[in-house]
Amino acid sequence: MPDTTNPGSTIAAGDQATILAQALPYIRKFHGKTMVIKYGGNAMTDPALQKAFAEDVVLLKLVGINPVVVHGGGPQIESALKRLGMQGQFIQGMRVTDAPTMEVVEWVLGGEVQQDIVGLINQAGGKAVGLTGRDGGMIRAQKLKMLDNTDPSIEHDIGQVGDIVSVDPSVVKALQDDAFIPVISPIGFGEHNESYNINADVVAAKLATVLQAEKLMMLTNISGVLDKAGQLLTDLTAKRIDELFADGTISGGMLPKIAGALDAAKRGVNSVHIIDGRVPHVLLLEILTDQAFGTMIRSH
């Protein structure tokens, strides 16, 4: 009878050894390298997946890889606004972030969500530190200009939604060198010390570029980028992505994700992976095994 209290016991010892041996060349290859991980979707809300994610991040750190976590929190912001009786307003799919909404965004992202992730990683044996883009002057931002989809001469005011001006990664590098795991909330600051809510995919992509990360990993609620027939596209080049933008295959919420991923790939991040956060331990499977999960994006 297998020992059901030990989940690894259902895998034969020989298979376990093969799996571990397969990880060795990847551990050697990526030792000392930085991996930026955008954490969102089901992986963030399902307790079993949260635990698996935290364990993966800690294991990567222990084998000498430097994970940097950037998180979103749209659903958590939505439920906090509902609890407070505040009605969310959207223009062209973007949340209008007035001053009272921005206050809620800051305490949900920089407080509740961030500290949950920090706690999970610490509980799994890591040393996580929570940061927002304000810490160490990391993310300078300006007001995002949103042009109307049908008439570009019209500009919509969506409040304190930000566009990144510059990223100073020195606080992240200092923490990495000290064996800490940075957990970053996507909040920037403007020239008058005002706060900005920034798309977490955009922050992850920009941070990966500035840190010259080996990989940018984006966890999503789908298996990767799908074609119009619903088939997974495992390997995408810049040229192919432009075609998918043009014919509408990539649209909606995937647009900023893919645009940011492509920009990172063009600016020196070795590979960008859009992976299914619903798969337990998907980070380890993607980074430390031969098995490819999701969509890989390359500049050419």
Radius of gyration for the chain, computed over Cα atoms and rounded to the nearest angstrom: 20
- Does 267 show up as a binding residue in the annotation? no
- Does 85 show up as a binding residue in the annotation? no
Q: Which residues pair with 163 in a beta bridge?
A: 142
- Does 122 show up as a binding residue in the annotation? no
91 in Cβ contact with 71 (< 8 Å): no
- Does 221 show up as a binding residue in the annotation? no
Q: Which residues are annotated as a binding site?
A: 73-74, 95, 197
Binding residues for substrate are 73-74, 95, 197
